[in-house]
Amino acid sequence: MISMQSVEKHFGELHVLQNINIEVPVGQVVIVLGPSGSGKSTLCRTINRLEPIDSGAIAVDGKVLPSEGKALAGLRADVGMVFQSFNLFAHKTILQNVMLAPTKVRKQSKTEAKDNALRLLERVGIANQADKYPAQLSGGQQQRVAIARALAMNPKVMLFDEPTSALDPEMVNEVLDVMTSLAHEGMTMLVVTHEMGFARRAGNRVIFMADGEIVEDTDPESFFTHPTSDRAKDFLGKIL
């Protein structure tokens, strides 16, 4: 579903992604771990071309990502992304936030988009807040809206970049629960997170990055019990 081959990227002198090779099969939940500054966000952002790459190739569902134009908009729509900051439109209601992209980009009718949005808000447990504005919701609720909004485009892949890092601790689980059910429903997911419990429970695979390189690529149990690299051991020593 996601294929990255020999991907290289620099920010000026900084070699932020170095020879990245990842093949993610349909339905796999990949957890991306690594110290701050290791390139995790940049990796996510290259997958839907929020960041261009210098060389290599990235494909989603077998389609190589073009760098611009209509085809790019189509491919971006296949990749849902949820960030640390929820980025909801403050002056639109929850329902309008979820309906916006499907009507503008997917050209869905208002009725279809509304039915779909209400179903998704139900799924993330906030259908009763549909007519409120983002500021009236808690951080956990806003992040669940952001997930519903991404799902409204009917993406083939969901990317999560530290979706719970900005939340108060008591709201973390309500967001992780939505992500866990999405994983169980077979969504292909790439999740940057520091939630190690979630990584172990919901992940099928761990990719550990350091200094722009993939240092380990293994199953969660092996990673957490027998990390092989010194950098992963050091990382786990600091967080566990």
Q: Which residues are near ligand ADP by CB under 6 A?
A: 11, 14, 16, 34, 36-42
Residue of 105, 4, 98 lying closest to 48 (CA atoms): 4
Q: Which two tokens stand for residue 74?
A: 């189509």
Kindly tell me the burial class for residue 188, based on how many C-beta atoms sit within 10 Å of its own C-beta (0-12, 13-18, 19 or more): buried
Which CB atom, from 90 or from 239, has the smaller least distance to ligand ADP? 239
Residue 139 near which of Mg ion, ligand ADP, none (CB within 5-8 Å, type-dependent): none
Pick out residues in 137-166 that bind Mg ion (CB under 5 A).
none
Which CB atom, from 152 or from 175, has the smaller least distance to Mg ion? 175
User: Whole-number minimum distance, CB 43 to ligand ADP, in Å?
Assistant: 7
Residue 39 near which of Mg ion, ligand ADP, none (CB within 5-8 Å, type-dependent): ligand ADP
User: Whole-number minimum distance, CB 84 to ligand ADP, in Å?
Assistant: 10
Structural contact between residues 94 and 145, judged by C-beta atoms closer than 8 angstroms: yes
Pick out residues in 31-70 that bind Mg ion (CB under 5 A).
40-41
Longest dimension (CA), the chain: 55
Provide the 3-class DSSP secondary structure of residue 215: strand
Residue of 233, 164, 227 lying closest to 193 (CA atoms): 164
Which CB atom, from 5 or from 165, has the smaller least distance to Mg ion? 165
Which CB atom, from 40 or from 149, has the smaller least distance to Mg ion? 40
Which CB atom, from 174 or from 195, has the smaller least distance to ligand ADP? 195
Count the Cβ atoms, other than its own, within 10 Å of residue 43: 27
Q: Which two tokens stand for residue 190?
A: 């790439």
User: Whole-number minimum distance, CB 101 to ligand ADP, in Å?
Assistant: 24
Residue 16 near which of Mg ion, ligand ADP, none (CB within 5-8 Å, type-dependent): ligand ADP
CA atoms within 13 A on the CB side of 10: 6
User: Whole-number minimum distance, CB 62 to ligand ADP, in Å?
Assistant: 26
Which CB atom, from 36 or from 225, has the smaller least distance to ligand ADP? 36
User: Whole-number minimum distance, CB 19 to ligand ADP, in Å?
Assistant: 16
The Cα 55–Cα 57 span in angstroms is 7
The Cα 127–Cα 93 span in angstroms is 12
Length of the chain: 240
Residues in contact with Mg ion by the rule CB under 5 A: 40-41
